[in-house]
Amino acid sequence: MRWLIVGLCPWIVFRSIEQNVFAQEPVAEEPLLFDVDTAAEAGQMDAVQEDDPPDRSNLDAAEFIGPPIKSVSEGPSARWQVHPHFDTRITYDDNIFIQPNNKKPDVSFAISPGLTVGYFDSPETSDYHLSRSNRASRLNPPTGSFLSADYTLTLLEFVHHSSENSVDHEFLLDGQWSDSKWRFGIHYRFLSGAGVDIDIGGRVNRQVQTVAMDARYDLSDKLFLESNFTRISSDPKGFVSAKENRLTSTINYSLTPLFSVGLGGAVGNLKVEHSPSESVEQILLRTRYMATEKLVFDATGGMEFRHTHDTNSRTTPVVDLGLSYIPFEGTEFTGNVFRRTENSALQGGNDYTLFGVNSRISHLLSRGIYLTLGAGYRQADYMDAPDGNSRSDKYIYIQPGILWNVNRWFNVQLLYMHGRNRSNDPQFEFSNNQVEIHASFIF
């Protein structure tokens, strides 16, 4: 399979360049960037529950570039959209099992064919929803009504460790209905794949299912209600599975058309295999500020109260901040800060507090060519170690890269990533380096 990929890549690149040179339309000079919210938030695979790609051969800290999205505004026929897509990836990793000693390097090859099908009530809605380069979509859902489905199959093969070869699957269903006052949304994601997990300290096969439903109702021009229900099921093979349900509601007031504040709360429960269940309550304060098209800020913070049947309650702060800023044309900065509680897949009932800071910047060098740089820090502090020696991990990463938008349906990217985890438990310390060539197509 890897020889087929290597053989096809030069021909595909040549054909893409040939079509680009003789194309009648200019190449769009916007970065075609994958939505980084959840991929950037989670430094450990068990915390990734919504938007990670099916291949987890790379650490979750790594940035992923989605397929380029061509313009779909073509009149009434644009309501129905059918887009096959195809990704191919070659990765060198000098520590594929993230071990402190006896590192095992390898080269992996992946191909990811897929298909997106959707119906949209207007071409503008389809443009907004499908375009992964739309910075506002990271904080604000599109208006209008739509229903879309996407399936991606990933075939992953290692050169020297064939036992780690995998066939990964990802299915996404996304829908929304809205009118002048109401907006309802439903989202489903199924992910079955293999990859590294810092919490576990190695590679693991995992299935994750996420169901989310959200609603908004405008009480007046300035006052509106928002509510969201999420159910997440995580099943790592050979480790501790978990199911979590959470309902979050806020009442919000728009002080200005660009600035709103909200007050609300959340209730939920967590069921962990072979461990007591947990109940969760949160008090939340939310603010959203969109100064201009170049600056968008969203923040949620509050206190969380977590209870189990056999321990005292724990009270911890929770934070989720997001920022998108375009200082000048061709340059974009995104960042986020978060603090939350996660359950360990290695040891049931041993929760940990996860704090993280992530940032990413892209800069246009010349026509269609971008320099990118991502960096981040994550700290995981475990709470309930049976031996009384609570584990603490501190993980950092840096990831420079270069992205070339060859034309509106093809891009190619070269990435380097260095990651290092410091832990008071030596068996979880590691460092690794990755080099990746990634090509994406959409038809």
Indicate which CATH number applies to the domain containing 417: 2.40.160
pTM higher than 0.85: no
Which residues constitute the domain of residue 278? 2-442
What is the number of other CB atoms lying within 10 angstroms of the CB of residue 320? Answer: 18
pLDDT digits over 384-432, tens only? Answer: 665 566 899 999 999 999 999 998 889 999 999 999 999 999 999 999 9
pLDDT digits over 198-222, tens only? Answer: 999 999 999 999 999 999 999 999 9
- 144: Cβ–Cβ under 8 A, 6 or more apart, which residues? 120, 121, 122, 124, 125, 128, 176, 178
Structural contact between residues 258 and 265, judged by C-beta atoms closer than 8 angstroms: no
**Does the structure show a pLDDT above 60 at 56?**
no
Structural contact between residues 243 and 231, judged by C-beta atoms closer than 8 angstroms: yes
- The total number of structural domains that make up the chain: 1
Q: What backbone torsions phi and psi does residue 27 show, to the nearest 5 degrees?
A: -75, 135
Range with the poorest average pLDDT among 61-65, 293-297, 308-312, 356-360:
61-65
Q: What backbone torsions phi and psi does residue 12 show, to the nearest 5 degrees?
A: -65, -45
pLDDT digits over 261-307, tens only? Answer: 999 999 999 999 988 899 999 999 999 998 777 899 999 999 999 99
Q: What is the pLDDT of residue 239?
A: 95
3-state secondary structure of 424: coil
DSSP string covering 229-282: EEEEEEEETTS--EEEEEEEEEEEEEEETTEEEEEEEEEEEEEETTS--EEEEE
pLDDT digits over 138-197, tens only? Answer: 334 556 788 999 999 999 999 999 999 999 999 999 999 988 899 999 999 999 999 999
CB-count exposure of residue 165 (10 Å: 0-12, 13-18, 19+): middle
CB-count exposure of residue 286 (10 Å: 0-12, 13-18, 19+): buried
Task: Tell me the pLDDT band of 50, cut-offs 50, 70 and 90.
Answer: very low
Task: Tell me the pLDDT band of 70, cut-offs 50, 70 and 90.
Answer: very low
Cα dihedral sign for 63, 66, 71, 73? negative
CB-count exposure of residue 169 (10 Å: 0-12, 13-18, 19+): middle
